[in-house]
Structure 1
Amino acid sequence: MSKIRITKQFTFETGHALYGYDGKCRNVHGHSYKLSVTVIGKPIADATHVKLGMVIDFGDLKKIVKEEIVDPFDHATVFNKNTPHVDLAKELMDRGHKVILADYQPTSENMVIDFSEKIKARLPKNIQLHSLKLRETETAFAEWFAMDN
């Protein structure tokens, strides 16, 4: 049977600041991110299986991405844990705000790498992550492809 790619899209709002950056993005600001998750696999051929014909149930993929990406990042502010913004992050957390201190500079490029690892770890063995597209604005996005990694 042929391998098929399926894609599910997600949206979330996240703030961040780029430590050491030489432009406006060094300031705390936010984006309405759009994440496209594409997986590849063979549709289930077992006629007795309740998910006959599916590569993966879109609901199952949604659960993974929601738990790993959307819920933690939506309406959070992401800072590089090595930034001087750590004091600001601690103050925000003390005031009940959702803050993520990442091991990386929170660019779209690094976020999509992080997301790929989180999603791959949760997929069933017979399903592979094919690609991710993280749209930061209407005209700017980062993409991750399994074949490149």
Structure 2
Amino acid sequence: MPKWTVTTEFTFNAAHWIRDYDGPCGRMHGHTYTVRISAITSQLHASEFCPHPVMVADFRTLKWAKKDVLKGGLDHCVLNEVLPEGYETTAEMIAKYIYDKTKKDLPAEIKLKVAVSETPNSWAEYEDD
């Protein structure tokens, strides 16, 4: 069976603090987050922007979080004010939030993997089997 994977990487800037964290991360501070999203499928699809089944997923759909917060993304927001209840602002939970929101806009059979980095040396990755 064929299998295609597309991967895209982008950045966005945001502020946050980790609730009840004993240390500097408990105070508001900012990061340039790097996000890497991989989408995997055995069937190509059309998209909101292209009516032909010629892609795994449209890169524009995968990169929604790169948009300005006023346009539905996460760029230049305070994550604590934007993420819904149940999502803390750790890299792990930001990865899950981006995964959950992206997955809603894709065909069900597409598998996703989302990695988020707050610093060049540290990544958190989320996928759901």
Q: TM-score, normalised by structure 2?
A: 0.78
Aligned to 1:118: 101
Off by >3 Å, runs of 4+ in structure 1: 49-52
Q: 2:114 corresponds to which residue? A: 132
> Which structure shows the higher helix fraction?
1
Deviations 1:55-104 (A, max 9, x none): 33xxx2323432xx22221011122xxxxxxxxxxxxxxxxxxx425413
Where does structure 2 lack aligned partners over 5 or more consecutive residues?
Answer: 45-50, 68-72
- Where 2:21 maps in the other structure, the secondary structure is coil
CA distance in 2, matches of 1:120, 1:134: 16
Relative distance call for 1:121 and 1:50 in structure 2 (3 A) is closer
CA RMSD across the alignment? 2.2
Higher CA-based Rg: 1
Find out whether 1:70 has 2:66 as its counterpart.
yes
Question: How far apart, CA to CA, are the structure 2 residues paired with 1:63 and 1:55?
Answer: 11
Q: Among the aligned pairs, what percent are the same residue? A: 30
Change (3 A) 1:123 1:24: same
**Residue ranges of structure 1 left out of the alignment (5+ in a row):** 80-98
Structure 2 counterpart of 1:12, one-letter code: F
Helix, strand or coil at the partner of 2:97:
helix
For the pair 1:146 / 2:116, whether they are aligned, the reply is no
Q: Which residue of 1 aligns with 2:70?
A: none
Aligned length in residues: 118
What is the CA-CA distance between 1:50 and the residue it aligns to?
Answer: 4.9
Measure the CA separation in 1 of the matches of 2:77 and 2:8.
Answer: 22
